[in-house]
Amino acid sequence: MRLWAVVSPLYEPVAPGAFDFARKAFFERLGAMGASRLLDPPVSASGESAGMGLALGLAALRHKV
């Protein structure tokens, strides 16, 4: 399985007085934000895609990261 991921620092407000996402994220203990995409989905022994089990596993991984 291969996964492509990008992690970047939190955004600053776009204008004075605008919503400050970085401040809110600080209090939620977030240090960065990112995105990921599965490049090569794992295949089972029968040749089928792993499907829902993979989606749940990736959701758990995202939560952990």
pTM: 0.42
Check pLDDT > 60 for residue 49: no
Check pLDDT > 70 for residue 50: no
Q: Is 26 helix (H, G, I), strand (E, B) or coil?
A: helix
Quote the pLDDT of residue 55.
73
**Angle at the Cα of 38 from the Cα atoms of 33 and 43, rounded to 5 degrees:** 150
Is residue 37 within 8 Å of residue 3, measured between CB atoms?
yes
Quote the pLDDT of residue 26.
86
CA 65 – CA 54 distance, rounded (Å): 16
Question: Model confidence over 27-44: pLDDT tens digits?
Answer: 888 888 888 887 776 666
